[in-house]
Structure formats: C-alpha cells, structure tokens
Copies of this chain bind each other. A is one copy, B any other.
Amino acid sequence: MSENHLAPVAPVPSPASPAEPPYYAVVFTSARTDLDPDGYTDTARHLSDLVRSIPGFLGEDFAHTPGGLAISVAYFRDLAGIEEWRRHPEHLDAKRRGRERWYERYVIHIARVESSHGFARA
C-alpha cells in the first residue's frame, strides 16, 4: 500500500495567486488569424519569459478556446511596470507583427484591482 500504481496525471493548472490590492491587471482578449501560427507561438513563449523581468510583474493567466477567443491577464504592482512593458522594444516589435499577421481583432483593458480572493479545494 506504500506505492501508487496509478499512471501519472497532469498537474491541476493554477491561476496566478491574488496579490495585495491595489495592483493592476492588463486584460488582453484576442481572436487570431490562421497566419503564421509557429511565429505566433514562438513569440508568445518568448514574451511570456520576457515579461517576468519587468519590475513589479506579479503573474499572468492565459486561456484559449480552440477556434475561439484567447484571454491573457497580466498582473503588475503599478502602472510604471505596465508602461515599461508597453515600451519594451521586443514587445513593441511583437505587437507590430501581431497587427500585421496574427490578430483578427483584440481589445486591451488596463484596470486597477481593488479586491481579490481565491478558493482552493481542501
């Protein structure tokens, strides 16, 4: 009884932990084109690493319905971090390529988080 013979299962995905308010959320909702999916994936992965170097970056959530909307939410301690990320040369370049090729449409909302809480099954 000391061994677990069940096959390994994928870990339960975790939302980013709620931080102490106030903090900021950048909500990015998008619908993609069919163009250059590999370029998109490589760039998305690179930017997801890069944003972690921005001072005040707190975490990120991402979900994508196949054939449907994608939503990413990045959390920052303050607007200065969001501004630094917005002006980062590699991010600017990726956004230009995104408008040229990858996105059919998108909406960005920049919001100040006033309260947050989490639930986890016991």
Chain B proximity mask over A103-121: 1 for CB below 8 Å, otherwise 0: 1111111111111111111
Contact partners of A121 in chain B: CB under 8 A? 33, 99, 103-105
Question: Which size class do A's interface residues fall under?
Answer: 35 or more
Interface SS of chain A: strand
Please determine whether A62 and B69 come into contact, CB atoms closer than 8 angstroms: yes
10 A–B contacts, CB within 8 A, in A order: A12-B31, A15-B105, A15-B106, A61-B69, A71-B71, A104-B121, A106-B119, A107-B116, A107-B117, A111-B113
Name A's B-contacting residues (CB within 8 A).
10, 12-18, 24-25, 27, 29-31, 33, 61-71, 73, 75, 99, 103-121
